[in-house]
C-alpha cells in the first residue's frame, strides 16, 4: 500500500517529467540546426511569394537541385567554403548564421526551461523570432505566417509560463498591437508616408502575447535604443548620412530584444 501513497506517486511523476524534459531537450537541440536551415528556406522564399513546402531546394545562381549532401546544416556550408558545389557561386552567409543562431538559442532555452510544457512552447516561439529577425534584416519584411504563428504560440507561452497568465498575454497582444497601429496611423497622417509597417504591428502583438504587457516597454525601448546605436554605427562605417527617410529593420531589433527579455525573465 505504501507504493500508492500520494508522496511516492508525486515523486515518480516528477522523475518521469524530468526524464521527458531531458529527452525532449536533447532532441530539440539535435534538430535545431535543421530547423534553422528550414527557417532559412522560409526567409528566402516567403517574401518572394514562392512555394516553401513542396518546391525542391536548388542553387539560386545555377538552378541545380540540391541533394541531401548539400543540405546538411552548418557542415555543408563549411565543407564547401560557402560556395555552390555545382557552379561555385557564393551562398549568402546568413544561411549559416541562421542555423548557428537557431542551434545556440535552442540550447540556452533547453538549459533554462524548468518544465516540459515551457520548453515545448518556448522553443518554437524563439525559432519564430529568429525567422522574423532574418526576414526583416534581409528583406525589410515580416511575413504573415511567422507573425500570426508567433501570436498563437505566444498566447500558449503566456498560458504555461508561471509568471504570466493567459490574460497577460491577451492584454500584451491587444495593447501592443493597438499602440503600434495608432503610432503607424499618426505618423502616416503627419508625414504623409509609412513610418511603421503593418508587419511591425503584428510582430509587437506576438511579442506582447508571449511576454505579457509589462515586458513591452522594456522590449520597445531597448529595440529603439539598439536600433539608433546600430544605425548610427552603420552610417559612420559606410560614410553615409543617417536620414529620416532611411529604411530601418526595426522589427529585427524588436525580435532581438524580445529574446533578451525572455532570457532575463528566465534567469531572474
In the bound state with Zn ion, the residue whose beta carbon lies nearer, of 76 and 122, is 76
Beta carbon of residue 59, minimum distance to Zn ion (angstroms, whole number): 3
In the bound state with Zn ion, the residue whose beta carbon lies nearer, of 70 and 200, is 70
Beta carbon of residue 131, minimum distance to Zn ion (angstroms, whole number): 24
Question: What stretch of H or E contains 255?
Answer: helix 250-267
In the bound state with Zn ion, the residue whose beta carbon lies nearer, of 57 and 214, is 57
In the bound state with Zn ion, the residue whose beta carbon lies nearer, of 9 and 62, is 62
In the bound state with Zn ion, the residue whose beta carbon lies nearer, of 62 and 221, is 62
In the bound state with Zn ion, the residue whose beta carbon lies nearer, of 24 and 94, is 94
Residues at the site binding Zn ion, with contacts judged by CB under 5 A? 59, 61-62, 84, 86-87, 89
CA distance 257 to 133: 10
Beta carbon of residue 190, minimum distance to Zn ion (angstroms, whole number): 48
Beta carbon of residue 88, minimum distance to Zn ion (angstroms, whole number): 7
Q: What are phi and psi of 178, to 5 degrees?
A: -65, -40
Beta carbon of residue 58, minimum distance to Zn ion (angstroms, whole number): 8
Beta carbon of residue 78, minimum distance to Zn ion (angstroms, whole number): 17
Amino acid at each position: 500500500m505504501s507504493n500508492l501513497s500520494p508522496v511516492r506517486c508525486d515523486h515518480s511523476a516528477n522523475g518521469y517529467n524530468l526524464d521527458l524534459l531531458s529527452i525532449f531537450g536533447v532532441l530539440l537541440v539535435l534538430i535545431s540546426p535543421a530547423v534553422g536551415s528550414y527557417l532559412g528556406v522560409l526567409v528566402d522564399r516567403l517574401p518572394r511569394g514562392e512555394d516553401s513546402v513542396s518546391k525542391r531546394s536548388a542553387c539560386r545562381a545555377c538552378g541545380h537541385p540540391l541533394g541531401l549532401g548539400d543540405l546538411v546544416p552548418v557542415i555543408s556550408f563549411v565543407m564547401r567554403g560557402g560556395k555552390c558545389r555545382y557552379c561555385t557561386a557564393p551562398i549568402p552567409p546568413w544561411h549559416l548564421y541562421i542555423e548557428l543562431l537557431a542551434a545556440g538559442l535552442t540550447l540556452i532555452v533547453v538549459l533554462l526551461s524548468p518544465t516540459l510544457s515551457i520548453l515545448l512552447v518556448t522553443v518554437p516561439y524563439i525559432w519564430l523570432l529568429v525567422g522574423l529577425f532574418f526576414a526583416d534584416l534581409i528583406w525589410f519584411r515580416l511575413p504573415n505566417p511567422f507573425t500570426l504563428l508567433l501570436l498563437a504560440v505566444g498566447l500558449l507561452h503566456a498560458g504555461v509560463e508561471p509568471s504570466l497568465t493567459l490574460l497577460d498575454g491577451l492584454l500584451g497582444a491587444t495593447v501592443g498591437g493597438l499602440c503600434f497601429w495608432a503610432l503607424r496611423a499618426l505618423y502616416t497622417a503627419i508625414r504623409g508616408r509609412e513610418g511603421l509597417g503593418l508587419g511591425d504591428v503584428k510582430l509587437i502583438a506576438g511579442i506582447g502575447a508571449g511576454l505579457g504587457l509589462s515586458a513591452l516597454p522594456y522590449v520597445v525601448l531597448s529595440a529603439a535604443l539598439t536600433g539608433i546605436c546600430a544605425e548610427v554605427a552603420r552610417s559612420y562605417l559606410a560614410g553615409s548620412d543617417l536620414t529620416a527617410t532611411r529604411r530601418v529593420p526595426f522589427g529585427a531589433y524588436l525580435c532581438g530584444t524580445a529574446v533578451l527579455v525572455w532570457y532575463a525573465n528566465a534567469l531572474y
